Amino acid sequence: MSAGRVLREGKDEAKLAPGERLGRYELIEQLGVGGMAEIFKARATGPGGFQRTVVLKRILPANCSDPSFVRMFVSEAKILGMLHHPNVIQAYDFGESGGTLFLVLEYVDGPSLGDTVSVLRETGRTMPIGVACHIARDVCRALDHVHNLRDADGAPLNVVHRDVTPSNILLTATGTAKLLDFGVAKYRASQARSQVGTIKGKPAYLAPETLDQRDVDHRTDIFSLGIVLHELLTLQPLFEGDNHQITFYRVLNMEIPPPSQARPEVPPELDAVVLRALQRDRERRYSTAQEMARDLDQFLAAQAFPSEEAVAFVQDLTALIASRQPPEIPSFNQLVATEERPGGHTIETAETVPGKGIRGNFGERVRRFLLGRSRE
């Protein structure tokens, strides 16, 4: 099917709801909506009672009229179709239904790293140093596979993820980290090009060369991973400011503190790994993700961190979240706008009811955490 057909038919695509089907996939519930696509937890079915839980990512109908969105979506599918690694989210299918494209991905039975960090902050806990290194080492292995991807003729594709952030790293129940979301990835054969002056990625996790509008390469992803590892160790955002301008300034100019400044028990050897990944001069940064993984492996071996620690961490954290009861769901009448009735009776609003509004959405965060997805 041509992109032109997608563009014409996608405009009439109805909004999907749980219980409906998209091809052979039954939608269970919506997990999130972004600027380009919506994501569902779904069930693949087949003969003889075959079933498999998957994630279905569908390009939003409104974006089907924009060729750039279609190209980005197709590019992501092409990259994922070539990637086969235990630390990279697996793509199972890519298809079309009702005039819109969809991508079927592996369902991960654990939280995103972004949700994990949020819960640790809320509960006043820290991430074990060994677990943080284990996760970063897994992501290094994923990036090494991504950066060395070749086409069918053996030519390097020079893939750069460009969006290595906590929300794009998932943890399985067995403690394995998986990298996902190649929606803004750059590679040699990609038709999805950035416009001049356009910055791809989340501001607080960008490398200096991205902000300077220089060409990015695989070392750009290593800098982003350095930011992530720093945050896992300290539970503090490294560069994030109150606005993009402050964040950009910090990425380009702020003196980068070693993690031990915020967490004294971080050993000097690990400080050195993090600060090397965060070198603004790419020539002084790790030259490959494999090189960074090797240093993390050596550190883990020297410190004798047990590999089972990551499994126990995910299990304990999941149990912690499950044990925290979400607030009672308010009735419809409680959600009616506040007004003063005769006799002084007041109807509660979403802002005043626990579990609703900006300050009381813990129940929603728990639900997203257990689903292993973020609505960011």
Catalytic residue among 115, 138, 144, 163: 163
Residue 281 bears catalytic tag: no
| SS3 letters across 276-288 | HHCCCCHHHCCCC
Whether 358 and 365 have beta carbons less than 8 Å apart is answered as: no
Q: How far apart are CA 336 and CA 258, in angstroms?
A: 50
By annotation, the residues acting in catalysis are 163
